[in-house]
Amino acid sequence: MPKICVALNTNSWDKAFEMVEILKGEVDVFKVGLPLYLTENGRSNTERLIQNGLSVFLDLKLHDIPSVVAKTVETLPAVDYLTVHLLGGSEMLKAAVETRPDIKILGVSILTSLPKEESREVLRRSRKGLILSLSRIAMEGGAWGIVVPGDGLARIVRRYFKFISIAVPGIRMRRKPDDHKWVTHPKSLTWLKDEDMIIVGREITNSKNPLNTLRRLKSHFQR
Q: Which residues are catalytic?
A: 61
Cβ proximity of 5 and 197 under 8 Å: yes
For residues 66 and 160, give the distance between their C-alpha atoms in angstroms, rounded to a whole number: 27
Alpha-carbon distance of 194 to 164, in angstroms, equals 12
Q: CA 98, CA 15: separation in Å to the nearest integer? A: 34
8's CB contacts (< 8 A; 6+ apart) are 16, 19, 20, 30, 31, 32, 33, 36, 201, 205
C-alpha 179, offset from chain centre: 16
Residue 145 CA to residue 202 CA, distance in Å, equals: 23
What is the rounded CA–CA span in Å between residue 157 and residue 165?
9
Cβ-based neighbours of 105, under 8 Å, separated by 6 or more: 81, 82, 83, 84, 93, 96, 97, 142, 143, 144
Cβ pair 82, 140 in contact under 8 A: no
